[in-house]
A and B are shown apart, each in its own frame.
Chain A
Amino acid sequence: MTIAVATDGVAAADWREAVVSAASALVDAGAAGEGYPEACVRVVEENGPYIVLTKGLALVHARPEEGGLAVGVGVTRLAAPVEFGHPDNDPVDLLLAFCTPDPDVHVGTLAALARALSGGLADRLRAAAGRDDLARELKEALPDD
């Protein structure tokens, strides 16, 4: 069972605020522990802005042991885009946050997301009418286990 959450119109001054906000939605939903948002920020600090996978979209995540309690996916749409310092894919207006308790149980969820993203999920999320619409588009992309 994948926990899916959506937040819309989120104000973020910079990439850190955007990452913390996206990951905090997973904490609020009970999918991740309190320390998860800061762990997601550290991933970018330590490894660079590679989590900006494609134009305008970041996959916010950290390792399972940083606080993954359940498999969770959240979509966060920003009120205004932020720069991550990515050479090609900035600025970012959409964040997909992700957490898992175990490095293996998430594969199906991420695989489904990757497939949905190749099939235009990012454009559908950008066109969503509001938070409920965002959540609906996200849920449609996830496996119904």
Chain B
Amino acid sequence: MALDRQLEILAVCGVGMGSSLMLKMTAEDALRALGIEARVENTDVSTARGMTPDVVIGQGMHTSEIADLAPVVITISDFLDKEGLEVQLRERLTEQGWLS
């Protein structure tokens, strides 16, 4: 079912201010390329536990700790790989019916 609101996306890392901010920027670029309107925030893993985003993006060492936090949890290894993230976002958002 298509979302009738803006997607909420959370970029996570250990400290929640440096690496996740870079990841947020990569995600914003990838979303722009896909033509998706979304709000992207960045935070640390502990703070993330209290949030309810639609999509979580992070490295495996963090996403494994919060695998149930969101309907879509995307694991990446390269925080700067916009094309790789774009491919994963397209596939996973299409699965959810959020992108057609």
Contact = CB atoms under 8 A, between A and B. Distances in A.
Contact of A55 (B22, B26, B62, B78): B78
Interface in A15-64: 43, 46-51, 53-55, 59, 61-64
B56 interface: no
Interface string A58-78: 010111100000000000000
Contact of B14 (A47, A86, A117): A47
A61 B15 contact: yes
Interface in A93-118: 98, 103, 106-107, 110-111, 113-115, 117-118
B71 interface: no
A111 B26 CA distance: 10
Contact of A103 (B17, B61, B77, B79): B17
A51 B23 CA distance: 11
A53 B78 contact: yes
A114 B22 CA distance: 6
B81 interface: yes
A61 B21 contact: no
B26 A114 contact: yes
Contacts of A123: none
Contacts of A114: 21-22, 25-26, 80
Contact of A50 (B14, B17, B81): B14
B13 A50 contact: yes
Contacts of B82: 118
A63 B29 CA distance: 26
A113 B80 CA distance: 11
Contacts of B79: 53-54
A80 B58 CA distance: 28
B21 A98 contact: no
Given A113-B22, A114-B22, A114-B26, A43 B78 contact: no
B21 A110 contact: yes
Contacts of B80: 53-54, 114, 117-118
Q: Which 5 A-B pairs have the closest CB atoms?
A: A47-B14, A88-B77, A53-B79, A61-B18, A48-B61
19 contacts: A47-B13, A47-B14, A48-B61, A49-B61, A50-B13, A50-B14, A50-B19, A51-B19, A53-B80, A54-B78, A61-B19, A63-B15, A86-B77, A88-B77, A107-B21, A110-B21, A117-B22, A118-B26, A118-B29
